[in-house]
Structure 1
Amino acid sequence: MNKPKVCIMLSTYNGVKYIDEQMESLLAQHEVDVQINIRDDGSSEGTVQKLSEYAESHPDQIRFIEGKNLGVIGSFFELMRQTEPVYDYYAFCDQDDVWKPEKLIRAITKLQLRQSNVPLMYCSSTQMVDQDLNNLDVWPTLPPKPLSMYNAMVENCCVGCTMVLNPITFEQIRGSIPSDLKQVIMHDRWIYLYVSTFGEVIFDEKPMILYRQHQENVLGGSSEGWLIKWKSRLKRLLSEGSFRLSIQASCFLETYKDQLSAQQQRDIRRFLNQLESSWIKRIRYASKMPFYRHTSLDNLVLKLIYILKKV
């Protein structure tokens, strides 16, 4: 029986410090044939040389692209553009994590239990670790509410480096990448939004990667106390950057309006249009809006920032 062929898309930027551990964990994946497509996003230290050496020593498994700096969103979407749609599954990867050997085959096994003719995406919890791979917390935990468009429009609960996509998901997203990526909050949020709207998201609460936390992390979870988390969360949501929820929602509606159901279109348009109404109408809408976050406190914050027109 042939092994599933999986393309891993890895974007790097000044990541030489941990790249060996990551690459070895990718090459050691059990029961799958792995192709690793790597795009460096304009590193200025030894990452390019290190990855060139890997590509030279594994010419049949590794394709290395030395690119100009596009930022994390642009780099991952460019990887999708440059990856041929010829694989059984597709996975995203960050440069400083370590994958458990059974990560991909566990994801594939779960995906194979679902219908193959609809968009599917697997994601999982992560085992957060420190720089030396000592265990911290497990994050995120299993979401308590459905993984639907009505959550994905206002929250992301799927970590990009845990995602595994079936071919339909990959090909449809690859064929409709927004022209202005400034309207996209993050590549993994866009993909979660797409799959939760048109297909099914499978969340695995068993951590399949060691998710390294360190000062160089651009994005990711945190093991901070709840008070510090809440202060940083409120600061983030009430800053200028928080206005991007509505921008991404508008971009999503424009990109997929022909595929969205009539009800989905109405709900997204109302979410956008009510922002321009009076504050009394915004309060009324926010109190019963169909969009939700997974925890009660996060849901209250969502309603607050909507009323303040900061989504």
Structure 2
Amino acid sequence: MTLNRPRVQILLSTYNGAAYLDEQIESLINQKDVEVQILIRDDGSTDDTVAKLITLEQRYPKQIRLCPESNVGVIASFFDLIQRSSETFDYYAFCDQDDVWMPNKLARAVAQLREKDESQPLMYCSATQMVSQNLEHLKVWPADIPRPLSLYNALIENVCVGCTMVFNKQTLQLVRKKIPATLNNVIMHDWWIYLCTASFGEVVFDPEPSIWYRQHQNNVLGGSTDGLVSKWRKRLSRFVKGKNQYILSKQARQFVQLYGQYMPSQLYRDVDQFLDSYQKGVLSRMKYIGQSPFYRQSRLDNWIYKFVFILGKL
């Protein structure tokens, strides 16, 4: 290893993921033009995951650090990894347990981040090449990000896939400074990072996929291969049945409570008006939503967001 290569700490949370670990870890170890350390927190696996990880740690003692822990769930597990991470690295990357990284994934991300002002919080994310469990190509997702990756998007939509995220030390410090006392109102760790970086720094999106994003029956999260009609039927059904009610507004309120005093004044006023209007009656919500600066990326998504806002179910 050469000393002048960027140092990247990969934050990997595992849970009953033994089937794909060898293939995945090898793809992390073999990243080009960067020096990596993989910090792994196992979230109480009951299969052979920990045994496999111990073997891999013995094989790569300088590059793997394993922390077997009890089960707390994916969000808390990743926040724990953020707290355990070391500020001696240049960049940090989230990693899911069953994907395979292309050899230039990290080098490509670092190169794009280095084109920006690195004194501010920065985050890179990319499209993914979705594949079957046997790595057969399905589609690229997300296919298109037509509008800016700003707080005005991040407050109500996460288009940044966590396992593609690479961020700098300033972002790590920003997140660690104000970790919520309870994570009940955080929808997902990657969404929270997107919110933080979009509010205080810059987010870079790369349309070129650099991971094979495996879809299989054990996937809990991730991009869906559903068709458009099926996708929206399911989404509307979740809202009607209450499964998604109020999660966006709760997360937004939690974010403002922690970071509001530090936010640029215009951003703070816009978020405050959003939350204040949401608390009012249906006529006030209808009046506000017509001129709201917040948006989702697709036109159809935007109409759904406006409709749910008016219903007071956001």
| Equivalent residues, number | 311
Q: Which residue of 2 aligns with 1:58?
A: 60
Q: How does 1:180-191 map to 2 (within 5 A)?
A: 180-191=182-193
Q: What is the Cα deviation at residue 272 of structure 1?
A: 1.4
Q: Which residue of 1 aligns with 2:20?
A: 18
Q: Which runs of 5+ in 1 are unaligned?
A: none
| Structure 2 residue corresponding to 1:288, chosen from 284, 288, 291 | 291
| Structure 2 residue corresponding to 1:258, chosen from 232, 257, 261 | 261
CA contact (8 A) 2:174 2:196 kept: no
- Please give the alpha-carbon distance, in whole angstroms, between the structure 2 residues aligned to 1:200 and 1:145: 14
- Please give the alpha-carbon distance, in whole angstroms, between the structure 1 residues aligned to 2:239 and 2:23: 35
- Please give the alpha-carbon distance, in whole angstroms, between the structure 2 residues aligned to 1:12 and 1:307: 39
Q: Which residue of 1 aligns with 2:306?
A: 303
- Please give the alpha-carbon distance, in whole angstroms, between the structure 1 residues aligned to 2:174 and 2:282: 38
Q: Which residue of 1 aligns with 2:121?
A: 119
Q: Which runs of 5+ in 2 are unaligned?
A: none
Q: Which residue of 1 aligns with 2:99?
A: 97
SS in 2 for 1:288: coil
- Please give the alpha-carbon distance, in whole angstroms, between the structure 2 residues aligned to 1:91 and 1:114: 17
Of stretches 205-214 and 278-287 in structure 1, the one that deviates more from structure 2 is 278-287
Q: Which residue of 2 aligns with 1:49?
A: 51
Superposition RMSD in Å: 1.0
- Please give the alpha-carbon distance, in whole angstroms, between the structure 2 residues aligned to 1:236 and 1:3: 46
Return the letter of the residue paired with 2:214: R
Q: What is the Cα deviation at residue 240 of structure 1?
A: 3.3
Q: TM-score, normalised by structure 2?
A: 0.97
Q: TM-score, normalised by structure 1?
A: 0.98
- Please give the alpha-carbon distance, in whole angstroms, between the structure 2 residues aligned to 1:138 and 1:49: 33
CA contact (8 A) 2:126 2:208 kept: yes
- Please give the alpha-carbon distance, in whole angstroms, between the structure 1 residues aligned to 2:108 and 2:5: 13
Q: Which residue of 2 aligns with 1:202?
A: 204
Q: Which residue of 1 aligns with 2:155?
A: 153
Q: Which residue of 1 aligns with 2:181?
A: 179
CA contact (8 A) 2:282 2:312 kept: no
- Please give the alpha-carbon distance, in whole angstroms, between the structure 2 residues aligned to 1:189 and 1:236: 19
Q: Which residue of 1 aligns with 2:227?
A: 225
Of stretches 277-286 and 116-125 in structure 1, the one that deviates more from structure 2 is 277-286
Determine if the alignment matches structure 1 residue 133 to structure 2 residue 117. Answer: no
SS in 2 for 1:38: strand
Alpha-carbon displacement from aligned partner over 1:206-227 (angstroms, at most 9, x marks no partner): 0000000011111000122111
Q: Percent identity?
A: 51
Q: Which residue of 2 aligns with 1:249?
A: 252
CA contact (8 A) 1:123 1:162 kept: yes
